[in-house]
Amino acid sequence: MFGLICGAKTSHDLKGKAFTMSNCRTRIARRTVLKAIGTAGAAVGFPHFVRSQVLAAAGRAGANDKLTFAHIGVGGMGRGHLSDMVSRMKRGEVNIAAVCDVDEERLGRASEMAGKQADVYRDYRYILERKDIDAVVIATPDHWHALQTVHAAECGKHVYVEKPACCTIEEGKAMIAAAKKAKIAVQVGSQGRSQPEAYLAHRYLVNGNIGHIDRVDCYHYPTPVDDKPVPDTDPPAELDYDLWLGPMRWRPYNAHCCHGTFRWMMESGGGQIRDRGAHVMSCAMWWMGADGTGPVSVEATGTAPAKGMWDAAVDMKVTYTFKNPDWILTWNQHENAMPAAEERKGGEAKIERPGYGAVYRGDKGTFTHWGGDGGTWAERQAREWKPPAGAQEVYRSPGHKEDWFEGIKTGKKTIMNIEAAVGVSNLCVLGNLAFLLGRKIEWDQAKMEIVNDEQARRMMGRPQRYPYHL
């Protein structure tokens, strides 16, 4: 068993305190860390302290001007992010000062991966009060994204946070406001925008190769069904379940609603539209030059699951109507939705995930891409197109994290900045609300509010459980 002690307090000791981070220095006491790594039935514990002179801190450079990072959430995507950062650390590019997770087994594995210089925490608030940490990588479940991003911003940390940015409209507003006030660089993990073939697709489309585009149809297969429900149980010993729930209302632990499967619950995930929709529609908004805009109306139909804990729509169609300029965006979630993948020649990147993507429809033709996240594959016509003299160029991301690093160091807006990411998350949220309510929703983008429907307006936010609230 992997044990963790944060000074004289544990995460439970903080539950009675206000959870705002407006003055994190006074709300979080200084910590000392005892790190114990369990190996083959034996635990070896030793104290470890990070010498501040070797780490970069806000407002000053550390050794070799390296940025210093902490990782919050190290299972699933979080483990992938940590592995990537460890590779960068071994090349001498960055420092990793801390890892954090509410699951001690995951935390133990992450500690071994990160190295002896990285402190370990169950509660992310201890990380945020450290002055030697420049930025955090947040890969916790969706319901934590907004809260942790806002708190990190209030403590002056730059943020890379996994998609979708937020679970509610009100959370998104809070994230934008906090990032703007703190003047931090935020990158949201819709990394499809930074893929090599995404650049080719973007350049191809903006140069009018399929003419004026008035419709983009996004496709994905259905949300899974919990067809073999299991009863509620006590949480596993290694999991701090109260801290895992965080801002969500209390509910008994169920193995089908935690660690990955939270995605299929409306409250903690929202189904495929919020999972992969945050990727595919991110590409659409970027390539259409629609960041900062929003639909005027949203309509949705679909099928709710008939059994089990998971309550996100199984199949679903959502139509978003945009004005000035006028175009339609659709989300089509059903079996065999995506057009078949093109044949790739020898030596070309294989389309590894052909089950989702989008078709762009212009008055001179169509264009298809597959994927939209860590794999984005463009149709051959875009890959082989040779720009003529005078062709319009578009931004070519050096890589999703590299783009974020540049934003941290120069203040340049990141490719998937918080305003753009909240815009995409709002599409996902509005689609689910239109499905739940069974009627059209009208949207005011300037105010970022639902209009002319008081019941729908009340669903723009939700109560957050004390003390885990904005």
- At residue 422, the pLDDT reads 98
Do 4-139 and 193-396+419-458 come out as alike in CATH topology?
A: no
- Residue 273 three-state SS: helix
* pLDDT tens digits in sequence order for the chain, 470 residues long: 223 323 323 333 333 344 444 444 333 222 333 333 333 232 222 222 333 333 334 434 444 579 999 999 999 999 999 999 999 999 999 999 999 999 999 999 999 999 999 999 999 999 999 999 999 999 999 999 999 999 999 999 999 999 999 999 999 999 999 999 999 999 999 999 999 999 999 999 999 999 999 999 999 999 999 999 999 999 999 999 999 999 999 999 999 999 999 999 999 999 999 999 999 999 999 999 999 999 999 999 999 999 999 999 999 999 999 999 999 999 999 999 999 999 999 989 999 999 999 999 999 999 999 999 989 999 999 999 999 999 999 999 999 999 999 999 999 999 999 999 999 999 999 999 999 999 999 999 999 999 999 999 999 999 999 999 99
Decide: residue 345, CB within 10 A, 0-12 exposed, 13-18 middle, 19+ buried. Answer: exposed
Every domain of the chain and the residues it spans: 4-139, 193-396+419-458
Whole-angstrom Cα distance, residue 305 to residue 389?
53
Whole-angstrom Cα distance, residue 458 to residue 450?
9
- At residue 266, the pLDDT reads 93
Q: Which two tokens stand for residue 105?
A: 């087994």
Q: Distance of CA 73 to CAs 5, 14, 102, 259, 352, Å?
A: 18, 19, 8, 11, 26
Determine the angle formed by the axes of helices 277-287 and 196-206, rounding to 10 degrees.
Answer: 40
- Residue 192 three-state SS: helix
- CATH dotted code for 4-139: 3.40.50
Of 2.60.40.10, 3.40.50.150, 3.30.360.10, 3.40.50.300, the CATH number of 193-396+419-458 is 3.30.360.10
Decide: residue 455, CB within 10 A, 0-12 exposed, 13-18 middle, 19+ buried. Answer: exposed
Which amino acid type is present at position 20?
T
Percent helix, percent strand, percent coil in the chain, to nearest 5: 30, 20, 45
- At residue 324, the pLDDT reads 97
DSSP letter for 239, please: B
**Beta-carbon contacts of residue 404 (< 8 Å; ≥ 6 apart):** 158, 160, 185, 187, 414
Q: Distance of CA 253 to CAs 232, 245, 258, 326, Å?
A: 6, 9, 8, 46
**Beta-carbon contacts of residue 369 (< 8 Å; ≥ 6 apart):** 197, 198, 201, 283, 357, 358, 376, 377, 378, 379, 382
Query: Which residue in 343, 344, 321, 346 sits closest to 331, CA to CA?
Result: 321
Strand 33-39: give its sheet, edge to edge. Answer: 4-6, 33-39, 42-47
Q: Are 277 and 405 in contact (CB under 8 A)?
A: no
Which amino acid type is present at position 70?
A
- At residue 65, the pLDDT reads 78
Is the overall model pTM greater than 0.75, yes or no?
A: yes
Q: Which two tokens stand for residue 146?
A: 């907004």
- Residue 275 three-state SS: helix
